[in-house]
Amino acid sequence: MDTAIARKALEKHLARLRPASNFRPPAKGWTRAIRDALGMTAAQLAARMKISQPSVTALERDEARRTITLARLERAADALDCTLVYAFVPKIMSARPLDEIVRKRARARATKMLTRVNKTMALEAQNLSADELDEERDELVAELLRDDIRRLWDEK
């Protein structure tokens, strides 16, 4: 599938999550927060999950430490009559954040490439002015975005 088409399709899904991008889980984790809000004891949740009460305590501890598995979280959510929502939400807040991430990476790669070349040219007193560097960077970014964007993520 064309990566631009895939990004555009995914953007539609991500748009619904954007207002929640500054969303942080409660310090003790969602399981504990929801359980407390429902007035449910650890023993009662354990019974609903068909596990021991110490296992619920361990589950809540692991969630707070961010070491829990998605499978365990999903099981707890189900026992709390909740749905586990799992997503990656881009940090960039724009109408098309995935495009912005790709563009930002292309700009960083172009800057790195031009910096190397400009240093070499400076040794020969042929380096580019700031305006010329900006123009070259813009052209290089456009070229990198036209090419196979998977190459942008190679660490070189």
pLDDT in tens, 27-70: 999 999 999 999 899 999 999 999 999 999 999 999 999 999 99
Q: Is the pLDDT of residue 92 over 90?
A: no
- pLDDT score recorded for residue 65: 96
Single out the residue in 30, 55, 88 at which a domain terminates.
Answer: 88
Give 11-78 as a DSSP string: HHHHHTTGGGTT----TT-HHHHHHHHHT--HHHHHHHHTS-HHHHHHHHHHHHHT---HHHHHHHHH
Confidence of residue 20 (pLDDT cuts 50, 70, 90): low
Tell whether 82 and 70 lie within a shared domain.
yes
Query: Are residues 26 and 12 part of one domain?
Result: no
103 and 79 within one domain: no
68 and 124 together in one domain: no
Would the pLDDT of 79 be above 90? yes
The total of other beta-carbon atoms located within 10 Å of residue 45's CB is 24
What pLDDT was estimated at residue 1? 53
The band of 129, judged by pLDDT with boundaries at 50, 70 and 90, is: confident
Last residue of a domain, one of 88, 104, 120: 88
* Same domain as 103, residue 78: no
Look over the chain and give the mean of its residue pLDDT values, rounded to a whole number.
86
- Give the pLDDT confidence score for residue 114 in this predicted structure: 87
CA–CA gap between residue 116 and residue 24 (Å, rounded): 40
Reported pTM: 0.64
- Domain carrying residue 75: 22-88
Number of domains in the chain: 2
pLDDT at residue number 73: 97
Q: Please tell me whether residues 38 and 2 are part of one structural domain.
A: no
Q: Are residues 83 and 102 in the same domain?
A: no
